[in-house]
Amino acid sequence: MHSSAPNLLRLAFGLAQRQSLNQNYIRLFSATAELRRAGAVPDGHINSDLSPTVCHIGLGRRRDLTLRQDLRVWQNDKQLTLADVFKGKKVVLVGFPGGPVCVEQHIPGYIAQADKLGSMGVDKVLCVTVEDPAKVAELATKLGASGGSRVELLADRNCGLVRLLGLEIGTVESAGPKCHRYAAVVEDGVLLKLRVESAPADLKVTDAKSMIELWKCIYPNACA
C-alpha cells in the first residue's frame, strides 16, 4: 500500500498537467480560429497564442522609432523622416482612421487643448493618417492645424509608420479605415506609451483629455 501511494500521486499529477495542456491548446486554437475569421493568419503564426492579451503585450514596449530611417511621412509635398518629426521633441502622436469622429471630435479636441498641452511640455501633437498628402494638407487647413500650429497633420501615405506600430487595417488600396485609432507619447523618438481604441469609431482612451491624464502619469511635474 505504501509503495503504491507515490505512483498514484505521480499519476494524478500527470493527469492534471495533461488537462492543463489541453485547456491551453483549446484556448490557443480558439484564438487562432477567431483571427482566421477576421482574415488570413501568416504561416509563422498558425500555432502561436493569438489571444488579444498576448498580442497586445508589445504595445507597452519602449522602442526608438527613428531607427527606421527608411520610413517617411508627408507634410503636403514635403517628405519627412521619423527623425525629422520626433528627434529632440516630446510628442503626442495621434493616429486617426478618417471620418466624422476624426474631423468633428478627435482632432478638434487636441486643437482646443493645444495651449494646455504646450504648458505641460508637449512640443508637438502630430496627427497621422493613411491618406494622400494633398488631402491631408487640405484637411489641416480646414481644421486650422497648419502654418506653425502646435497640432500638425501628416500623411502616412505608404502605411509605413502604422505598419511599424502594428496598427494597420487592410491595405492602402482597400476600402474603409486603413488604421486603428491610437495615441502615443513619444520622447526623442522613443515610444513610451501607446493607447489603441477597441474599434476605429471609438473615442474613449485616445482623446485629448485622456492623453493629458496619461501625460501627467509619465511626467508628474508637468503641471508644476
102 is catalytic: yes
| HSE value, Cβ hemisphere, 13 Å, CA-based, for 47 | 1
Q: Which residue has the cell 494597420?
A: 168
Query: 94 with 165: CB under 8 angstroms?
Result: no
- DSSP 8-state symbol, 224: -
Find the catalytic residue in 55, 102, 179, 217. Answer: 102
Rg of the chain, C-alpha, whole Å: 22
Query: 66 with 83: CB under 8 angstroms?
Result: yes
Q: How far apart are alpha carbons 90 and 170 in whole angstroms?
A: 30
Query: 51 with 75: CB under 8 angstroms?
Result: no
Strand order in the sheet with 72-75: 63-64, 190-196, 182-187, 90-95, 124-129, 151-155, 72-75, 78-81
Catalytic residues: 102
